[in-house]
Amino acid sequence: MSHVLFINVFGHGHINPTISIVSELISRGEKVTYIAGEEFRDKIEDTGARFIGYKNFDELGFNNGDISPTEIQPQLMEIARVYVEIIETIFNIKDSFDYIIYDSLFFIGAEVARILKIPAISSNSTFAVNGKTNYLSEFFTRFGPVIKGLINKPEFSAIINFLKEKYGIIVPDLLSIHKVKSNMNIVYTSRYFQIHGESFDDSYKFIGPSISDRKEILEPELVSREKSKIIYISLGTIFNKSIEFYESCFKAFRDMDAKIIMSVGTNIDMNSFKDIPDNFIIRNYMPQLEILKHTDLFITHGGMNSTNEGLYYSVPLIVVPHFFDQPVVAYRVAELGAGIVIEKNKVSPALLKDSATKILSDKSYKVNSEKIGKSLRESGGYKKGVDEIFILKGSKRAADNLIYI
């Protein structure tokens, strides 16, 4: 039995792909200590892992699609302080570890592994990144000057110096974190769906979405076929507060021969909706994986988890991206002919209806989504991911954990 240190940051989109990995590791005899936002305690402890929590970034307000350049500097300073908290937690744990798995946005994870002299495995919740596929470039173009200003601030320099002097950790240049690479890099999509998938070496393991049976009950009324088509709408766990968007959907699909299933999240008061069309079923929560098995069209924000899940079941998409990696994911869907992108500031009932009608009447969207879905299903999922982890663990590979490419 080996002891695994798992470190994760940010929200559900980063946590959810790892749950099946952790469960499978434990089922094969591994011991897992998992450090993540306190709100995920129950979900992670249910796997059998030991959990250590901290105040998560969702609570700090970082996951805000409308964040401005002037707002991001204090947010990044707060994130830096939390990263220090995580580092101090790690080095205060009395146990020893055999390898580390860290979320790719916890970009000093490989440095932690180097100090501990153990293999480093990154967990990539979205596309893998190299010089050809740097989806962070748009983010840094927008926020680069502010980030450079932060780097030059004495309080940020003090954090970098503290980590180096106390723990020997060398913090990479924030504008070059896309160059950080570990012994192994788990990516929860297929090499086919990955942008420039051919440009990544064998240390990148494209295992597809980490989908397992959530044992959720699907009410028959949700997928019964009173209408010819089923359209599922969900904007994920972060960008799901837009009453205006949902009302645009009411107007777009009210008279369509389709059952509309809409998941609006826990932030929406259902009493906010007036004049809900008869062909709509609206809930705060839906068993998404079960519904997608029966869906003809999925309207999503383009988070990698939701996108992968829709395509895993060969469902064409309308993608309304909001922030960070979502525009890149959305345009990859469109590039491969599996869906249509609608920019969030251009959403209208007419555009939604026209896009849905086009996808449902043009068989090429279904054919292309099936091609991506096949690639995702054949990538092996969480079991393949754990197989690869055990191969690395068994190889006792001697390599620098932090490599610049």
DSSP secondary structure, 166-203, as one string: HH---PPPGGGGGGEE-SEEEESS-TTTSTTGGGS-TT
Those residues with Cβ within 8 angstroms of residue 39's Cβ, 6 or more apart along the chain or in another chain: 56, 58, 59
User: Above pLDDT 90, what percent of the chain?
Assistant: 62
Q: Which range has highest mean pLDDT (10-14, 57-61, 394-398)? A: 10-14
The predicted structure's pLDDT at residue 399:
41
Residue with more model confidence, 86 or 285: 86
Calculate the CA 393 to chain-centre distance: 25
Angle between helix 137-151 and helix 69-92 axes, rounded to 10 deg: 80
**Residues 309 and 381: beta-carbon distance below 8 Å:** no
Q: What is the pTM of this model?
A: 0.88
Domain architecture of the chain: domains with CATH? 3-208+379-404 (3.40.50.2000), 220-377 (3.40.50.2000)
**CA pseudo-torsion sign 260, 266, 270, 274:** negative
**Residues 239 and 65: beta-carbon distance below 8 Å:** yes
Instruction: Give the pLDDT mean for 265-278.
Output: 83
Per-residue model confidence as pLDDT tens digits over 27-77: 999 999 999 999 999 999 999 999 999 876 554 444 445 556 666 777 788
Q: 139: pLDDT confidence band, cut at 50, 70 and 90? A: low
- The C-alpha atoms of residue 359 and residue 58 are separated, in whole angstroms, by 34
Q: 175: pLDDT confidence band, cut at 50, 70 and 90? A: low
Per-residue model confidence as pLDDT tens digits over 353-363: 999 999 999 99
Per-residue model confidence as pLDDT tens digits over 306-350: 999 999 999 999 999 987 788 999 999 999 999 999 998 899 999
The predicted structure's pLDDT at residue 286:
87
Calculate the CA 89 to chain-centre distance: 24
Q: Which amino acid is at 33?
A: T
DSSP secondary structure, 287-332, as one string: -HHHHHTT-SEEEE---HHHHHHHHHTT--EEE---STTHHHHHHH
- The C-alpha atoms of residue 4 and residue 145 are separated, in whole angstroms, by 38
Q: In Å, what is the CA distance from 221 to each residue of 16, 225, 226, 257?
A: 27, 9, 9, 16
Q: 180: pLDDT confidence band, cut at 50, 70 and 90? A: confident
